[in-house]
Structure 1
Amino acid sequence: MSKNSTLNRRERKKEETKQSILTTAIQFFQTQGYDATTMEQIAEAVDISKVTLYNYFPSKELIVAEFFQDMSHQFVDQVLDFLAKLPTTRSKIYEYFRGQFEWNLQYRELLQIYFVHQFQSMLQPEAYQNSGMDQVLAQIIRYGQEAGELRQDLPTEYLAKHLEIMYVMEFMVWILEGDSWNPEKHLAAMVDLFMNGAENKSEMR
């Protein structure tokens, strides 16, 4: 057996173990709660040692972060294909965020942990990992700039990052307000604010 085939088999085994850890941990988090779940429980359920588990993920927080990032990257191509069929930049942004919200409803507790992790990572660039949202939003912004719907004097990535931060802030409000938060109303308002700004144009006429 060649060295390359041995390495490939080893890499596949590592990936299988990682995915088993993620699946098992998320099931525990969803059924018994994040705080009630221990690393020992996860290691036992996956049938690995605690040392091995910590080699993959030093903390439960990093398991949560990896889960959301994996899921986000996994569906990037499908999301972009769907959004390409929508007629305007506004509709692309709104439908993307609406879909994100509907999927994330099932992971409300874990989202709080993930967003805290992402904010902390932003302060440490070497530790920050793109969520996958960056790629989708950059593509939407690029489309809007090419179509003449968005200004072209600012870099695509700059606008995409500001839009992502606006969305994260809306999610933080949702987590705090709970069921009183209206997704259609607030997401539409957020998209309108991004597209048109906060300037009262009616008062300038």
Structure 2
Amino acid sequence: MEVPPPPGRRARKRQQTRDTLIATAAALFDLHGYDAVTMEQIAAHADVAKRTLYNHFPTKDAVLADWLEAQLARDLADLQPRIAARRGFRARIDTLLDASAAWCERHPARLRAYLQHRMMNAGAAAGPGSGGPMDAWRLLIARGQDTGELDPALCVERLATAFHHLYFGAMLRWLDGPEPSLRDEFRAITDLFLDGARAPGEVRKPAH
């Protein structure tokens, strides 16, 4: 397999600028709160022209999205030993969702802005290997199929996408009114994902 060449000087410089902008914005969000920070402040504190900032990020929400998704990938990597130590699909996904709920409950303003950004850019779905929640759903679902907890005849990608929509829906409902808790919302979507919406006693008919 051919190893791709390292990025050139121009690409490295662009990535360094992008990283500086994200780090500066994150520090300002922590200091002043997300809603109070402006794009002008981010540019000024990063010591770049406003045009440079807008060349990298069209909106403040886009800066937040890049920062949050990188943070999420790191958090998911840190969670992997805890998740792997749990037995069964339900216990593993509950571990991940509990950690997600804890972060969301600490940062509701950032969560709302991120979800709005994602809904405006719905076509930019994360592919395999991105390190985001879709990768986590794919992995846990595949493990559940290997152990016989989930139907191995079903497409992993389709199941992961369905759970991803349930996950985002739970967060949106919670933001509209934080009762029940986000953990309870996540428990409810996992129940729905595992048990479906059939009435008790109904027998599932095979699809044709």
**TM-score class, shorter:** 0.7 to 0.9
Residue pairs, 1:123-162, within 5 angstroms: 125=123, 127-129=124-126, 132-162=132-162
2:184 corresponding residue in structure 1: 185
Provide the aligned C-alpha RMSD in A: 2.4
- In the alignment, does 2:20 pair up with 1:20? yes
* Pairwise CA distance, 1:197: 1.2
Kept in 1, the 8 Å contact 2:97–2:183? The answer is: no
Change in Cα spacing, 1:177 to 1:134, as seen in structure 2 (3 Å) is same
CA distance in 2 between partners of 1:114 and 1:102 (Å): 16
CA distance in 2 between partners of 1:169 and 1:134 (Å): 15
Equivalent residue letter for 2:161: K
CA distance in 1 between partners of 2:108 and 2:36 (Å): 16
* Pairwise CA distance, 1:78: 3.0
CA distance in 1 between partners of 2:104 and 2:181 (Å): 15
CA distance in 2 between partners of 1:115 and 1:98 (Å): 19
1:61 corresponding residue in structure 2: 61
* TM-score, normalised by the number of residues in structure 1: 0.84
Moved more, 152-161 or 133-142: 152-161
Secondary structure in 2 matching 1:201: coil
CA distance in 1 between partners of 2:192 and 2:202 (Å): 17
* Pairwise CA distance, 1:129: 4.1
Kept in 2, the 8 Å contact 1:80–1:136? The answer is: no
Equivalent residue letter for 2:8: L
Overall identity of the aligned pairs, in % = 29
- In the alignment, does 2:205 pair up with 1:195? no
The structure whose RCO (Cα within 8 Å, separation 6+) is larger is: 1
Kept in 2, the 8 Å contact 1:163–1:194? The answer is: yes
Kept in 2, the 8 Å contact 1:65–1:117? The answer is: yes
Residue pairs, 1:37-56, within 5 angstroms: 37-56=37-56
* Pairwise CA distance, 1:135: 0.4
Secondary structure in 1 matching 2:121: helix
- Which segments of structure 1 move beyond 6 Å, counting only runs of 4 or more? none
Change in Cα spacing, 1:6 to 1:174, as seen in structure 2 (3 Å) is closer
Q: Deviations over 1:154-203 (max 9, x none)?
A: 2001111111111111111111113x332343322221121111223247
Which of the pair is proportionally richer in helix?
A: 1
Equivalent residue letter for 2:147: A
Change in Cα spacing, 1:203 to 1:153, as seen in structure 2 (3 Å) is closer
**Unmatched 5+ residue regions in structure 1?**
none
CA distance in 2 between partners of 1:5 and 1:79 (Å): 30
CA distance in 1 between partners of 2:181 and 2:7 (Å): 53
CA distance in 2 between partners of 1:38 and 1:78 (Å): 31
Kept in 1, the 8 Å contact 2:24–2:42? The answer is: yes
**Unmatched 5+ residue regions in structure 2?**
204-208
Equivalent residue letter for 2:167: Y
Moved more, 182-191 or 56-65: 182-191
Give the aligned length.
196
Moved more, 131-140 or 185-194: 185-194
Equivalent residue letter for 1:182: S
